[in-house]
Structure 1
Amino acid sequence: MDDREFSELRELLEKQQTYRLRRSVPSVKERKQTLLQLKRMLVDHEKAWVEAIVSDMRRPTFEAFSFEVALLLNEIEYVCKSLASWTKPERSRQFKFGYIEMIRTKRSPYGTVLIISPWNYPLQLALMPAISAIAAGNRCVIKPSEYAPATSKLLRELVSLTFPPEILTVVTGDRDTAKQLTALPFDMIFFTGSQETGKAVSQQAAKQLTPVLLELGGKNPCIMDETGFSPEAVREIVWGKFLNAGQTCIAPDTLFVHESVYESTLSEISAALSEFYGEMPKESKDYARICHAGHFQKLLRLLAQGKARIGGAYDADDLYIAPTVLTDIQSGSPLLEEEIFGPVLPVIAYRDLESLLDQGTIQRDALVAYLFSKNKQHIRLVGSYMRSTTLSVNQVIHHGANPRVAFGGVGRSGHGAYHGKAGFLAFGYEKTDYRAYRFLHVSDKYSPYTDQDMRIVRRFRKWLL
């Protein structure tokens, strides 16, 4: 971004903020209209969206529609249906000694929100937070990923045709553009991406005391105990892991399997992969590719950290890595420390669940924890051990598509949550209208204080304060 473009962006931000100051907070009707415009933009250009996503990610059309366009349409419809009840003010009245206290609270938008989105779901992760921000009454500037150029270009073109820049605008560019954007005085920043970049965004925002919501992913553990094994359970895990070639922030990162079902699980994984992608996954139209060369090289380094029990093939020219299962992982391996974010599944046997948790191998503040079990005690144990915001039992991925489930991290996986009502709450703050109607003058609260004043306060404190 050159100086001219940066100056134009600063002017746009000032225009958005001035626009809000000169107008009242958008009504529920206006917010719904904006969201329905967004829905129409998705529906009218569905084919173009899918083609752009497939071009960027080389994903199957089914995944491009289902996990990008369809998810956004469902979210918009749910938010529009619920928005009136969410925005309804809460009122209370209290009788005090000498006056009546009236309190009215409602959510107020921050103002103008900067959304920095990643490449792995380039449309969904750009617009999903925008839906929450608009529902809360904000204006938005979206910075999509430069690693998804086709989707980013289409997003910029169609948003500019659909919305005035005072409401919603898209700015394209690279890392330097993102750095320049975070230096501007936005009222809130929403970032989805790596932990390293998330720290940099937080540090920059802290200079201006700008609130930040971070979605950073993490090493999502998937545990299968002796009661949770079944061919259907394994198919579920394989589907969730290798969806989008593993480039999903809530994909199972590492599979921990009870030793009594370890070999059976490996056998079923092999069968499921053959069923899903055939004997030659590279030729399958349903198997995606790695998004860019830098990430491909990182995954190659992780591939060398274990024994390829299944898969292991790759093609740098095609950015292809076969669905791979690694075993014989050495203690201290980067596979146990770094988020994989690719089609590489370490499978580790364990003997006792409590001992497994005590080892500290599992990242407690992952974005989500998966457990396949029928044992209620094990479910309680894992639930109490994990600090992640979600424990998903006998299912993977689906919670992230449900607008009734808050989506967010804690600790190393981020902080704050969105989707549905959680998003509406995250992009605003509680504003209070406090009023007192006095009918009796009480002078005992004023100094100088007496012993009698103290006795009155002790006796009538609930009505005085």
Structure 2
Amino acid sequence: MDSQERDALQAVLEKQQEAARMRPAPTVKERKETLLRLKRMLLDHEAAFIAALVSDMRRPAFEAYSFEIALLLNEIEHVCRSLTKWTKPGRAYSFKFGYIEAIRTHRNPYGSVLIVSPWNYPLQLALMPAIGAIAAGNRCVIKPSEYAPATSELLQKTVGRTFPPDLLTVVTGDAQTARTLTSLPFDLIFFTGSGQTGQAVSRQAAAQLTPVILELGGKNACIMDASGFSPAAVREIVWGKFLNAGQTCIAPDTLFVHESVYERTLAEMQSALLEFYGEKPEESNDYARICHAAHFQRLQRFMGQGRIRFGGASDADDLFIAPTILTDIPPGSSILQEEIFGPILPVVPYRDLEPLLERQAIARDALAAYLFSQDQRQIKRVQAYMRSTTVSVNQVIHHGANPRVAFGGVGRSGHGSYHGKAGFRAFSYPKTAYRAYRYWHVSDKYPPYSALDMKIVRKFRKRLL
């Protein structure tokens, strides 16, 4: 990127930061009005956004609406209903020796927030964090993924027509544009993407002492014990795994199945896949494609690391990989170590849960963990073992669509949470107004100190400090 382009991006940031300095934080009414304008923008251009999502990834229109537009509309409505309560200041009073202290706390916006979003859900993951940022009173610059060009360009046009650039703006470009943006002194950076890129963003932000929220991927284990097996449970797992051709950050990554129900599970999975996508999933209108060629090649390398029990077909020209079930995977294979992020599901039998946990075959800090079980002891054991912010029992994916559930990572899956109230808090910081009402001047707190002063402090420490 040349200096002229960098200067242009710098100017975008400076315009927002200047607006934040010159004007007070928007009122709750103003924030709601901004969010409702965003809602209207989505409704007015719903068909165009669905068409763009279909163009970018051959997304089924049902999935494009359900997991992009509908989620955003629900989030906006939930935030608008709750924002007055969330922004209500906290108050506390305490009687001290010689004075009364009054404490008033409220949440303050950071200022100008940079949102760097990925390609797999290019509309939802660009605007979902923006909703939380706006609710908290911030201004936003959104950098969508260049791998979803139709959606990114439409988002830039519609946002540009709806909002002034000092409030909300979209900057398109390649990875170099993203690197330049993350090197600028934004007041907060929100990044969704791979762990490797997340580390690079953190290093750049550290040079500016900029706080960062990272939403990364992970090896989301899905465990089915003997008590958790049912045809309905298998259908739930298959649906969640192959939604968006497996390119979902909270999709089940590897399925661990108790050996007593292993073969029955595989048979039910095959039946579910045939029911969902037919014998020729490449001809199904309900099955997406891989986003880009480099990711396609990465997934192809995984395909040879086990026995293909179902699926396995692919077409590089069409970026198509069939829903694939992989078994008999040698220990130590990279597919068991790396996040797959595609339509390949390793299915691993197990006899006892404890050895899986002891040898850390299940990543503790995945973005989500799933357990299908009716055994309360097993459920409690898995919940205690996992560090993930969500351990979901007998369902997959749905928790990520609930605005009342904080969504975020820990450890290798990121840090910081958003959605709903968690988003409002993530994009704001606590600010305190402290005031003392003096009714008696206490001179013993000043030097020189005496032995009597020490006795008084020990006796009345809760009232003195």
TM-score computed with the length of structure 2 as normaliser: 0.99
Deviation at residue 90 of structure 1 after TM alignment: 0.2
Structure 2 residue 377 is the aligned partner of structure 1 residue 377: yes
By how many angstroms is 1:9 displaced? 1.8
In structure 1, what is the equivalent of residue 89 of structure 2? 89
Indicate the residue corresponding to 1:393 in structure 2. Answer: 393
The aligned counterpart of 1:65 is 65
Q: Distance in 1 between matches of 2:398 and 2:360?
A: 27
| Residues 1:319 and 2:319 aligned together | yes
Q: What are the within-5 Å matches in structure 2 for residues 418-437 of structure 1?
A: 418-437=418-437
Residue correspondence of structure 1 range 151-170 to structure 2 within 5 A: 151-170=151-170
What is the aligned partner in structure 2 of residue 144 from structure 1?
144
- Classify the secondary structure of the residue corresponding to 2:189: strand
* Alignment partner, residue 99 of structure 1: 99
Alpha-carbon distance between aligned partners in 2 of 1:357 and 1:11, rounded to the nearest angstrom: 51
CA distance in 1, matches of 2:180, 2:5: 11
Residue in structure 2 matched with residue 462 of structure 1 by the alignment? 462
SS state at 1:120 partner: coil
- Quick one: distance in 2 between partners of 1:301 and 1:236? 27
C-alpha separation in 1, matches of 2:460 and 2:361: 56
SS in 2 for 1:189: strand
CA separation in 2, counterparts of 1:350 and 1:452? 70
Secondary structure of the residue aligned to 1:33 is: helix
Structure 2 partner of 1:263:
263
Question: Which residue in 2 is equivalent to 1:200?
Answer: 200
Give me the whole-angstrom Cα distance separating, in 1, the residues matched to 2:64 and 2:198.
26
For 1:351-370, what aligned pairs fall within 5 Å after superposition? 351-370=351-370
- Cα distance in 1 for partners of 2:305, 2:156 equals 41
User: SS at 1:309's partner residue?
Assistant: strand
CA–CA distance in 1 between the matches of 2:217 and 2:95?
Answer: 48
Deviation at 1:288, TM superposition (A): 0.6
Amino acid at match of 1:441: H
The answer to whether 1:445 aligns with 2:445 is yes
**Distance in 2 (alpha carbons) for counterparts of 1:454 and 1:69:** 64
Shift of 1:5: 2.8
Post-superposition offset of 1:3: 2.8
The aligned amino acid for 1:309 is R
Mapped partners of 1:348, 1:66: distance in 2: 31
1:374 Cα shift? Answer: 0.3
Aligned-partner Cα distance in 2 for 1:157–1:123: 13
Partner Cα separation in structure 1 for residue 152 and residue 2 of structure 2: 19
Pairwise CA distance, 1:357: 1.2
Structure 1 residue 183: deviation in Å? 1.1
Deviation digits for residues 61-89 of structure 1, max 9, x if unmatched?
00000000000000000000000000000
Q: 1: distance between equivalents of 2:304 and 2:341?
A: 15
Q: Tell me, yes or no, if structure 1 residue 229 matches structure 2 residue 229.
A: yes
Q: Distance in 1 between matches of 2:60 and 2:28?
A: 37
- Using the alignment, how far apart are the partners of 2:196 and 2:463 within structure 1? 52
- CA distance in 2 between counterparts of 1:4 and 1:74 reads 40
Residue 313 of structure 1: how far off its partner (Å): 0.9
Residue 304 of structure 2 corresponds to residue 272 of structure 1: no
Instruction: Point out the more displaced range, 100-109 or 15-24.
Output: 15-24
What do residues 118-164 of structure 1 show as CA deviations (whole Å, max 9, x unaligned)? 00000000000000000000000000000000000000011000000
Give 1:404 shift.
0.1
Residue identity in the other structure for 1:248: T
For residues 378-434 of structure 1, the C-alpha deviation after alignment (integer angstroms, 9 at most, x for no partner) is 000000000000000000000000000000000000000000000000001000000
Cα distance in 2 for residues equivalent to 1:232 and 1:21: 55
Tell whether 2:23 aligns with 1:23. yes
Q: In structure 1, how many angstroms separate the alpha carbons of the residues matched to 2:441 and 2:461?
A: 16
Secondary structure at the aligned position of 2:29 is classed as: helix
Task: Tell me the distance in 1 between the aligned counterparts of 2:426 and 2:373.
Answer: 33
- Work out the CA distance in 2 between the residues paired with 1:387 and 1:40: 38
User: Matched residues in 2 for 1:358 and 1:400: separation?
Assistant: 28
CA drift at 1:359: 1.8
SS in 1 for 2:160: helix
Cα distance in structure 1, aligned partners of 2:19 and 2:5: 21
Identity fraction in percent:
73
The correspondence of residues 177-216 of structure 1 with structure 2, limited to 5 A, is 177-216=177-216
2: distance between equivalents of 1:44 and 1:229?
44
Equivalence for 2:303: 303
Map of 2:124 onto structure 1: 124
> How many residues of Structure 1 are paired with residues of Structure 2 in the alignment?
465
Gaps of 5+ in 1: none
1:57 maps to a residue whose letter is M
Could you tell me how far 1:264 is from its partner in structure 2? 0.3
User: Partners of 1:268 and 1:97 in 2: how far apart?
Assistant: 72
SS of structure 2 residue aligned to 1:318: coil
Between 1:368-377 and 1:14-23, the stretch displaced more is 14-23
| Matches of 1:167 and 1:16, distance apart in 2 | 7
Deviations 1:80-101 (A, max 9, x none): 0000000000000000010000
Deviating beyond 6 angstroms after TM superposition, the runs of 4 or more aligned structure 1 residues are none
- DSSP 3-state at the match of 1:459: helix
Match of 2:290 in 1: 290
Deviation at 1:355, TM superposition (A): 1.7
Matched to 1:207, the amino acid is A
Structure 2 CA distance for aligned equivalents of residues 307 and 150 of structure 1: 37
Q: What is the distance in 1 between the residues matched to 2:429 and 2:218?
A: 28
Deviation at 1:358, TM superposition (A): 1.1
Alignment RMSD, CA only? 0.6
Structure 1 counterpart of 2:124, which letter?
Q
* Structure 2 counterpart of 1:245: 245
Residue 346, structure 1, aligned to residue 346, structure 2: yes
CA distance in 2, matches of 1:42, 1:304: 42
* 1:10-41 deviation digits (Å, cap 9, x = unpaired): 11211111111111111000100100000000
- AA aligned opposite 2:202: S
Give, in whole Å, the separation in 1 of the partners of 2:265 and 2:334. Answer: 24
What is the CA–CA distance in structure 1 between the aligned matches of 2:146 and 2:178, rounded to whole Å? 10
The Cα of 1:4 is off from its aligned counterpart by: 2.4
